[in-house]
């Protein structure tokens, strides 16, 4: 049976990462703060193709 893969563009993945990071930042636990900032930075870097 053939494998089914889902591919999304890097722009879509960057926008999803930024939105997820912002949503995570609304919860004020220290680990969530670190993960939220990481996702936002990763999303911005993906948008500018670095």
Q: What is the pLDDT of residues 1-43, one digit of tens each?
A: 678 888 888 889 999 999 999 999 888 788 889 999 999 999 9
Q: What is residue 20's predicted lDDT score, i.e. its pLDDT?
A: 93
Is residue 2 in some structural domain? no
Q: What is residue 36's predicted lDDT score, i.e. its pLDDT?
A: 93
CA 17 to CA 48: how far, in whole Å? 14
Give the residue from 49, 50, 20, 15 showing the smallest Cα distance to 35.
20
Which tokens sit at 23?
A: 């949503």
How many separate domains does the chain show?
A: 1
Q: What is residue 44's predicted lDDT score, i.e. its pLDDT?
A: 93
Is residue 4 in some structural domain? no
* Residue 18: domain span: 10-47
Is residue 17 in some structural domain? yes
- pLDDT band of residue 49 (cuts 50, 70, 90) is confident
CA 50 to CA 39: how far, in whole Å? 14
């Amino acid at each position: 049976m053939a494998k089914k893969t889902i591919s999304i563009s890097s722009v879509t993945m960057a926008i999803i990462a930024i939105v997820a990071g912002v949503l995570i930042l609304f919860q004020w636990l220290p680990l969530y703060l670190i993960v939220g900032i990481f996702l936002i930075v990763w999303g911005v870097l993906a948008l500018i193709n670095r």
